[in-house]
Amino acid sequence: MGDKLPEPHASSSPAVAASSEAEEIEVLDSEDVLPMAAEDHWKALFDQFDPDNTGYISTEKFRSLLQRHGSELDPHKLEVLLALADSNSEGRICYQDFVNLMSNKRSNSFRQAILQGNRRLCSKALLEETGLSLSQRLIRHVAYETLPREIDRKWYYDSYTCCPPPWFMITITIVEVAFFLYNGVVLDRFVLQVTHPLYLKNTLLYHPQLRAQAWRYLTYIFMHAGIEHLGLNVVLQLLVGVPLEMVHGAARISFVYVAGVVAGSLAVSVADMTAPVVGSSGGVYALVSAHLANIVMNWSGMKCQFKLLRMAVALICMSFEFGRAVWLRFHPSAYPPCPHPSFMAHLGGVMVGITLGVIILRNYEQRLQDQTLWWIFLSIYVIFVLFAIFWNIFAYSLLDLKLPPPP
């Protein structure tokens, strides 16, 4: 090992360690074997301790390995491993759990073992540690903002490397601002751009007459009604989205964001069929509602400062933005007969946030495919998308709606 133990990927086949001869432990003492061990090499090493191929190592052997190599591990990672050993009532450790730990892929059973073992630990909380650099304090702050369990906070604190950085939320924000500024220059208007007669001619926003152009169900996020609309969305997605992406990764957070965006435009096409839609509120509301719901569901475990006040401020901001959207929707249109943009995208984003979003945020470093609720909510989302697609194909003609003329 070096300063940090490399993180091998989880192996699908069980490997092993369950012998008690002292000379066998010496094999693992080799400094030039452990640091560079790949997945297959780990299996070969552990196979030496399990001639019967049981897939387990005794807790005594496990503790001996930790004592020998504990100084080479992150202190919090060592704490997690000790918790795993303490919590095991069968006197043995599964090799797969050990590899999952090192590769940040912790199973449900493993999490339960860690939480049980954590009750026996008396080490100080991460918040009490002193002598941290500015970057370390920032990482600790993000951990307390987003994670409800101390063991997860310590795990994240040790594992986070800022590589890659939270690029998705930053990139999407920059692109949204760039498009807004461009439209502001072209239209010579930055406040309530949506009232400009040329606004609807943009090829990015969703318009019911152009619903067959599939890209509009996603690209409408780059068009905003005005600087008041863009400003609040940008603030919320940076203050909430960036910390969430730092913890849960770009793949998961971008999924929630894009799922909220698509659900928002489809919700408009189903529930407010004559209205266009603009803005990133669907994605923003998916992230913020998931985060707020996660805080409420883990209220006692969340240690972020002034959480009640901050939740109230977030809800007020969201309510203000939603109220603005409702007012604008029913305000007399500047270009009749086409109404102003719909507010239904906000509600579509909220529904994604309190279903798929909550499952993702509640399962830090857990495999989503192991979560039953994940498959249930994902199935509901897919069914809604398919329903909305068929609705857009057939319902408009069957209902004989009078749609606004194309821009």
Residue 94, H or E segment: strand 92-94
* Orientation angle between helical segments 167-187 and 242-271, nearest 10 degrees: 50
* C-alpha torsion angle, residues 246, 252, 254, 260 (rounded to 10): -120
Under a CB-based contact definition with an 8 Å cutoff, are residues 207 and 216 in contact?
Answer: yes
Q: Which of 207, 229, 248, 346 is catalytic?
A: 346
388, with CB counted inside 10 A (0-12, 13-18, 19+), is buried
Burial annotation 352-373 (CB, 10 A radius, 16+ → b, else e): bbbbbbbbbbbbbbbeeeebee
Dihedral sign for Cα atoms in the order 44, 50, 54, 59: negative
Under a CB-based contact definition with an 8 Å cutoff, are residues 140 and 110 in contact?
Answer: no
Under a CB-based contact definition with an 8 Å cutoff, are residues 206 and 268 in contact?
Answer: yes
* C-alpha torsion angle, residues 380, 381, 387, 392 (rounded to 10): 160
281 tagged catalytic = yes
CA distances from 225 to 52, 169, 192, 210, 343 (A): 68, 20, 5, 19, 12
Q: Which of 58, 280, 281, 289 is catalytic?
A: 281
CA distances from 214 to 101, 262, 263 (A): 42, 11, 13
Q: What gap in Å lies between CA 302 and CA 290, rounded to an integer?
A: 14
- Tokens 């339960």 locate to 112
Token readout for 322 is 């939603």
Burial annotation 241-266 (CB, 10 A radius, 16+ → b, else e): bbbbbbbbbbebbbbbbbbbbbbbbb
The number of C-alpha atoms within 13 Å of 96 and in the hemisphere containing its C-beta is 11
Q: What residues act catalytically?
A: 281, 346
